[in-house]
Copies of this chain bind each other. A is one copy, B any other.
Amino acid sequence: MGLISETADARRLRLDALSRPDSLLLTDLYQLNMMQAYFDRGMMEPAVFELFIRKLPDRRGFFLAAGLEQAADFLEAMRLTEEERAWAESSGRFSRAFLDWLSELRFDGDLHAIPEGTVVFPDEPFLRVTAPLPVAQLVESRLLATLQAQIVVASKAARIVLAAEGRTVVDFGLRRANGTEAGLLAARAAYVAGCAGTATVLAEPAFGIPIFGTMAHSFVQAHDDEMDAFRHYARSRPDQTTLLIDTYDTEGAAEKVVALARELAAEGITIRGVRIDSGDLADHARKVRKILDDGGLTDALIFASGGLDEDRIARMVGEGAPIDGFGVGSSLVTSTDAPTLDTAYKLQEYAGLARRKQSEGKATWPGRKQVWRRYGDDGRMVGDLLTLDSEPGPDGAEALVRPVIENGRRIEGRPGLEDARARAADQLKRLPEPLARLGTERYPVEIGGPLEDLAREVDRRIAAGRQG
């Protein structure tokens, strides 16, 4: 395959590849190849690309929008550094004139999007980029990766939060994430979706997300005696003593917690809760609840973790297991049942003409679009309508696609993380009943008449172009 390869033995940058949030080179090579060709031909007119998800994974009924803030951050910050330019020149792949233009490139286009925390469905354009063709093309790879990281997690977290029916859910997933950036972004996405917080420390200084933490089994094992471990921990963290009780014998450890609580009361220390991380969590929780209650610790909370997902949580909640909170890792941050999104970023308009992809099984709706959401008298969603952006919407419907960046500048008063979280809470309350119960009933997304007309018109134009 040497023919398709573009390997060069050019000198290599000494750059810290993982610490360049604004890098233009975090993209696919074909974007730069196409840009060079567009540049050579002067194809610099405005293009409109829209980002949407093609279909729902098997067990899913909806997605939750998240990650827009990081996507917009990238568009604002992106630029080619001197180092990157030097590498690109030495690679011999690009013309000097093109690289001169690329070095000066800033994003001065428009970004429209469906706000974070909004429930979205297949075919709905949750992002629209309007910019000169090569610029709108370049940003594709990065936008997709940035949004995927949070939409996947937020959509899974929403299911877990719904299953927990008001009980606390905390993201424990940093260690199970595909790297630390993915872990940190997962904490953010989980918070948008309604998790109470995360175990990831940096999420607090970086995003203002509440952080939670107890202790590990190693802490107990490092002591010769479990009771000593509990005592030491309580004295060092007197305000927030949550003890992990399953290292050796869960119920035995619960008895120790009762004894320790009496001992520490004299020092003014209260045991706030316990965590169970293995075995039959619901069964242990019932036995531990009884031991704690009999010992007078009726206010001590029981926190469960270890291999949890929405199914296991729903079962325990359904059984009435006395669990106050859940720590969820793997299934949340990698969305085990649906780890990837079938996202697409497609050209819908160029130089004033609507465009459409027709590949088998992958056809798309052309033009700039709006999504109108209608709610019933009970406040729940009843159906969406996909229209051309230029059309008026149905009476009383909510327009979901809104301006975020205009001419390269962020719109003032943009929603923050807490707004996104509040919107998600509201949207999840407004889900149709079957979807709120994690069903997979198809939510109606209709296509407006003028949009269907435009699609037919584009098809006719393409057919004529092929024959011409």
Residues of A within 8 A of B (CB): 1, 3-8, 12-13, 15-21, 23, 25-34, 36-38, 40-41, 43, 47, 49, 70, 84, 87, 91, 133, 137, 140-142, 144-146, 148-149, 152-153, 167-168, 170, 172, 174-186, 196-197, 199-208, 210-219, 221-222, 224-226, 232-233, 235-237, 240, 242, 246-249, 252, 272-273, 277-279, 299, 301, 303, 324-325, 330-331, 333-336, 339-343, 345-347, 350, 355-362, 462, 465-466, 468
Return the contact of A350 from the options B23, B205, B207, B221 (Cβ within 8 A): B221
> What is the minimal beta-carbon distance from A466 to any residue of chain B, in angstroms?
6
Contacts of A217 in B (CB 8 A): 346-347, 357, 359
Contacts of A226 in B (CB 8 A): 465-466
> What is the minimal beta-carbon distance from A238 to any residue of chain B, in angstroms?
11
Contacts of A37 in B (CB 8 A): 215, 219, 232-233, 235-237
Return the contact of A25 from the options B28, B205, B248 (Cβ within 8 A): B205
- Given A17-B207, A359-B246, are A339 and B350 also a contact pair (CB < 8 Å)? no
Report yes or no: A26 in contact with B200, Cβ–Cβ below 8 A.
yes
The CA-CA distance from A214 to B34 in the complex, in Å, is 8
Report yes or no: A347 in contact with B222, Cβ–Cβ below 8 A.
yes
Report yes or no: B272 in contact with A40, Cβ–Cβ below 8 A.
no
The CA-CA distance from A137 to B339 in the complex, in Å, is 29
Report yes or no: B213 in contact with A49, Cβ–Cβ below 8 A.
no
- Given A13-B206, A355-B222, are A272 and B213 also a contact pair (CB < 8 Å)? no
> What is the minimal beta-carbon distance from A468 to any residue of chain B, in angstroms?
7
For A280, the closest partner residue in chain B by CB is: B360
For A224, the closest partner residue in chain B by CB is: B465
With A87-B205, A178-B333, A218-B347 given, can you name 10 additional A-B contacts, CB distance below 8 Å?
A4-B325, A19-B19, A28-B174, A30-B214, A33-B236, A84-B205, A91-B204, A248-B359, A278-B361, A330-B340
Contacts of A3 in B (CB 8 A): 240, 242, 272-273, 299, 301
Contacts of A133 in B (CB 8 A): 222
Report yes or no: A26 in contact with B174, Cβ–Cβ below 8 A.
yes
Residue in A25, A225, A301 whose Cβ sees the most chain B Cβ within 10 Å: A25
For A144, the closest partner residue in chain B by CB is: B175
- Given A19-B20, A26-B201, A334-B340, are A279 and B36 also a contact pair (CB < 8 Å)? no
In the assembled complex, 17 residue pairs joining A and B whose CB atoms fall closer than 8 Å, in A order, are: A1-B301, A3-B272, A7-B211, A18-B21, A28-B175, A29-B213, A34-B215, A34-B216, A38-B222, A40-B236, A41-B236, A137-B216, A144-B174, A146-B180, A148-B176, A148-B177, A178-B334
The CA-CA distance from A280 to B212 in the complex, in Å, is 49
Report yes or no: A204 in contact with B8, Cβ–Cβ below 8 A.
yes
Report yes or no: A179 in contact with B176, Cβ–Cβ below 8 A.
no
Return the contact of A242 from the options B4, B47, B207, B339 (Cβ within 8 A): B4
The CA-CA distance from A226 to B468 in the complex, in Å, is 11
